[in-house]
């Protein structure tokens, strides 16, 4: 009688520990995802304007200064709007975890890489 009760008690204890540990692990993961999305959104909203000089410089290096001033300027304006809007959307919806849509993650990381959009 005691053997069955003891086994049942241990099984109940392990089940309770498992049930209590799963939400805790999920909460830590959710919290880190939310914090990451908030910081990413804030950084991209505030620094989106850096896409303008970044694209002028990168296009000048890839082609020439004339292309950098014209094509790089247009690309920079479009990328500025894109990164700032995506950052603002991520900032407003930070509580809903989602994949990154802007690569590189931050405008400066690395500075010489062209910005692309779409989830990884």
Domain boundaries, the chain: 33-117
Alpha-carbon gap, residue 83 to 6, rounded angstroms: 60
The model carries a pTM of 0.73
Question: Measured in Å, how far apart are the chain's first and last C-alpha atoms?
Answer: 57
Average the pLDDT over 36-43 and give the result. Answer: 96
What is the pLDDT confidence band of residue 33, given thresholds at 50, 70 and 90?
very high
What is the pLDDT confidence band of residue 58, given thresholds at 50, 70 and 90?
very high
């Amino acid at each position: 009688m005691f053997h069955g009760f003891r086994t049942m008690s241990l099984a109940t204890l392990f089940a309770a520990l498992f049930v209590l540990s799963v939400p805790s692990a999920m909460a830590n993961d959710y919290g880190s995802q939310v914090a990451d999305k908030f910081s990413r959104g804030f950084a991209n909203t505030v620094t989106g304007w850096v896409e303008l000089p970044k694209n002028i410089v990168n296009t000048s290096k890839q082609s020439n200064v004339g292309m950098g001033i014209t094509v790089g300027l247009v690309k920079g304006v479009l990328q500025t709007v894109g990164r700032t809007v995506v950052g603002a959307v991520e900032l407003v919806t930070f509580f809903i975890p989602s994949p990154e849509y802007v690569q590189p993650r931050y405008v400066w990381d690395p500075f010489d890489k062209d910005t692309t959009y779409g989830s990884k």
